[in-house]
Amino acid sequence: MAQKTLGAAIGLGLDGALAADDRVLLMGEDIGRLGGVFRVTDGLQKKWGADRVIDTPLAEAGILGTAVGLAYRGYRPVVEIQFDGFIYPAFDQIVAQVAKLHYRTRGAVRMPITIRVPFGGGIGAVEHHSESPEAYFAHTAGLRVVACSHPQDAYWMIRQAIACDDPVLFFEPKRRYWVTGEVDASLDAAPPLEAARVVVEGTDATIVTYGPLVATALDAALAAADEGISLEVIDLRSLSPVDFDTVEASVRKTGRLVITHEAQQFGGLGAELATSITERCFTHLLAAPARVTGHDIPYPPSRLEEHFLPDLDRVLDAVDRVLGRANSLTGWTL
């Protein structure tokens, strides 16, 4: 196995997909000669040619519309949205066409399109470059929505997303692009694309998260262990469909649930998770589920983003609340 950054692992997965299937095409702004803003596609155009790794105009709706046409002709396009905040011009194509064509044609047409989206904050970027729009797409029937959190999983998941006959929104946590880890380029041990992963087992409370906050949740588990608290951490991986069975099994064991994501709280995935798990585990819950999210405001200027993003203290505060302990942030208990 080789050491790779998360970004390089995705690039390795794209390279493998191009080699495995000549119907796979990559499309996006600056992904060819430049190799992408985050260099995820570095070297792929030189290796596979400009007709398979395609630099496009700055026109997100046009890129997705072209991908729909290519999918109709049997190709498997992989589209890169350069930054999360630029996906909105393509919103209509994604939710009104990509998501619905299979259903609209009664199964006659498949849309095996993978839409890569660098998402989330934490890199000090300017406006429109630090958003978390995953809930919009998880709400749309007909789309799969996934988020990777570490290099090995990123490699497996991008290969599975491209091989999938359904359209997949593939969210990449941009502040974790430079995290390194071992990557096995085989697919033999890969879990299913829709399966959640128990990263750390615990007994006192369950933390459910995905993408950029998996590392924060792991830090919380380590810090809590110093006080004798055992936290179970679940990386959701698939945001639609959600692997509720894995979350339910964990909460039935621990009796307490903390959900954390960078996106705003109102109407977010945390609300869906809290409701669904409460419905499934009501008699097993020892406290109401707690959410730790971004605030219900537009993403702030970069100098204020540390106050917006969930951090270790806020996650531990939520753990204290579900455990009924006095805590340093609010000073109150349940």
Catalytic residues: 129
What is the rounded CA–CA span in Å between residue 190 and residue 62? 34
- The length of the chain in residues reads 334
Helices (H), ranges, 36-123: 44-48, 60-72, 91-92, 101-104
Ramachandran sector of residue 122 (left: φ over 0; alpha: ψ -120 to 50; beta: rest)? left
DSSP at 309: S
What is the rounded CA–CA span in Å between residue 22 and residue 296? 44
Return all residues near 223 (Cβ < 8 A) that are at least 6 apart.
312, 316
Please give the angle made by the CA atoms of 293, 190 and 231, to the nearest 5 degrees.
Answer: 40
Place of tokens 């993003």: 309
What is the rounded CA–CA span in Å between residue 60 and residue 82? 9
Asked if residue 235 lies in contact with residue 211, where contact means CB atoms within 8 angstroms, the answer is no
Sequence letter at residue 122: G
Among the listed residues 136, 147, 204, 138, the one whose alpha carbon sits nearest the alpha carbon of residue 171 = 147
Query: Would you tell me how many other CB atoms lie within 10 Å of the CB of residue 334?
Result: 12
Sequence letter at residue 318: A
Among the listed residues 22, 223, 7, 8, the one whose alpha carbon sits nearest the alpha carbon of residue 118 = 7
